[in-house]
Amino acid sequence: MAKLALEKHPRLTRPRGPVLVVIMDGVGLGCGDAYDAVAQANMPTLRALLADRARSLRLKAHGTAVGLPSDDDMGNSEVGHNALGSGRIVAQGAGLVDGALADGTIFQGTGFQALREAFTAGGTFHVIGLLSDGGVHSRLDQIVGVVEGAAARGAKRIRLHVLADGRDVPDGSFTTYLSELEGRLGALGARGVDARIASGGGRMLVTMDRYESDWRIVERGYRAHVHGDARRFPSASAAAAAFRAETPGISDQQLPAFVVEEGGSPVGVINDGDAVLFANFRGDRALEISRAFEDDAFDKFDRGRRPRVVYAGMMEYDGDLHVPKLSLVAPPQLERTSGEYLAAMGVRTFACSETQKYGHVTYFWNGNRSGRFDDALETYLEIPSNAPPFEAKPAMKADEIASATCEAIASGRFDLVRVNFANGDMVGHTGELAATIKGCEAVDAALARLLRAIEVSGGIAIVTADHGNADDMALRDKHGAPLKDAQGRVLPRTSHTLAPVPFCITGPGLAASTTLRADLAVPGLANVAATVMNLLGFAAPADYQPTLLAG
In this structure, are residues 468 and 497 in contact, taking their beta carbons and an 8 Å threshold?
Answer: yes
Catalytic residue among 56, 70, 77, 86: 77
> Three-state DSSP class for 405?
helix
Burial-class residue 490 by CB neighbours within 10 Å (0-12, 13-18, 19+). middle
Residues 350, 320, 116, 271, CA torsion sign? negative
Rounded CA gap, 452 and 80, in Å? 27
C-alpha dist (Å) from residue 543 to 96, 356, 529, 536: 21, 32, 12, 18
C-alpha dist (Å) from residue 110 to 143, 265, 312: 19, 34, 10
Query: Which residues fall within 8 angstroms of residue 545, CB to CB, at 6 or more apart?
Result: 87, 88, 89, 524, 526, 527, 529, 530
- Between β-strands 56-59 and 327-329, what pairing exists: parallel, antiparallel or unpaired? unpaired
The 8-class DSSP code of residue 330 comes to P
In this structure, are residues 201 and 163 in contact, taking their beta carbons and an 8 Å threshold?
Answer: yes
In this structure, are residues 84 and 277 in contact, taking their beta carbons and an 8 Å threshold?
Answer: no
In this structure, are residues 359 and 403 in contact, taking their beta carbons and an 8 Å threshold?
Answer: no
Q: Find, among 497, 441, 402, 379, the residue nearest to 22 by Cα.
A: 402
| Active site (annotated) includes residue 77 | yes
> Three-state DSSP class for 215?
helix
Q: Find, among 144, 81, 109, 134, the residue nearest to 279 by Cα.
A: 144
Q: Which residues pair with 232 in a beta bridge?
A: 259
> Three-state DSSP class for 37?
helix
Give alpha helix (H) positions in 223-282.
236-246
Rounded CA gap, 235 and 24, in Å? 41
First to last CA, the chain: 33
> Three-state DSSP class for 295?
coil
Which residues carry out catalysis? 77
